Amino acid sequence: MTEFDRLPEAAAEIFGAEATAEQAYDLLTVDVPAAAWISALETARDRLGCGYFDWLSAVDEPGIGFRVCAHVADPGPGSVRHLVLRTTVPHDAPELPTATGVYAGAAWHERETHEMFGVDFTGHPHLVPLLLPEGFEGHPLRKDFVLAARVAKSWPGAKEPGESDHGGPKRRQMLPPGVPDPNEWGPLKGQLPPAPARAARTPRAAGAGAAAGERPVRRARSVTEGSASQQAEAAATPAPRRTRSVSQGSASQRAAAEARPEATEPGAERPAPRRRTSDAPWNQPRQTAPAGEDEAAKPDAAEPEAAQQPSEAEAEAAQAKPDAAQARPEPDAAQPEPGAAENPDTADDKGTEGGEAQ
């Protein structure tokens, strides 16, 4: 078992009493104090076999400081072992000894970390800016860095109103949050003339200054009043049509009603409604006669209603008929009807009965 295989449990034994280590996603991370930064790099190179230097950078942790990280590796046969060494320096005094004596490739990374975060690497042979132009102020990767959009360099082709030759009034420049005044911060600091103060507007009459080409002050109007153009149109247009309900009718209907005053007066007589007669065919029930009754006995459909209705005498006679029918004696059931043919079987039975009686 190698020294690398004993980590992270043996971090305090290998890197010092104040060192801590953790492993996540096949990556071993060891945290050491700033005073043991160079000794930790030497331990990783000599005892753990991490002879390959990958990168060095920093992270701005608000309230903690700048966390400087260095990634080294052991390119052994069959697999590569990765190790990240970290240390923390405060914001007010970000300073570390240079690692160029242990890993020569750290010179370029320390220059970049110095200009982006402001960390000083003491003993560095050439700690000068690497990416930013000369005279650049500030460290762009710090959390408190001011956003210098359109301060160091304006957008290509971008122009504010008043910067071109169209002669329009110059609008007050609005800077986004975090962008300072270019005359107070940036490469043109102190070289630009101060921005002219905007004169305060004073109230004036509507017609004042019209001769000089100035626009009068807009009068505040409510929604119901409308704008000036809407008021002019309302004065030129005729009065709007009066709304009427359905019972009042339209203008033509009201004119026709006024032309006929007799029809609208409350005391005027109205024509009587047309009465319906009862002799109409559809008011009479349909009567059906028996099949054997003579067609001549049927009442004529064209006769008036008075001919079809019985008189009072006929009604009394009709009531008397049922009484007479009840007083009439019932005929003998054995007496044959006149004109009816006798049944031969019945006749023989009668003859036999007669002989026996004799």
CATH number for position 54: 3.30.460.80
By C-alpha distance, which of 75, 16, 86, 19 is closest to 50? Answer: 75
pLDDT of residue 53: 96
Does residue 35 sit within a domain? yes
What does each C-alpha distance from 2 to 5, 10, 14, 49, 114 come to in angstroms? Answer: 5, 11, 12, 10, 36
24-67 pLDDT tens trace? 988 999 999 999 999 999 999 999 999 999 999 999 998 999 99
Tell me, yes or no, whether 66 lies in a domain: yes
- Name the residue range of residue 13's domain: 4-122
Q: Is residue 65 part of a domain?
A: yes
Residue 113 resides in a domain: yes
Query: In this predicted model, what pLDDT tens digit does every residue of 136-180 receive, in sequence order?
Result: 888 999 988 876 555 555 555 555 555 555 555 555 556 666 667
Residue 90 counted as domain residue: yes
Instruction: State the total domains in the chain.
Output: 1
Closest listed residue to residue 85, CA positions, set 28, 5, 9, 2: 28
pLDDT of residue 344: 47
Query: Residue 86 falls within a domain, yes or no?
Result: yes
Residue at 44 is within a domain:
yes
pTM value?
0.45
129 domain residue, yes or no:
no
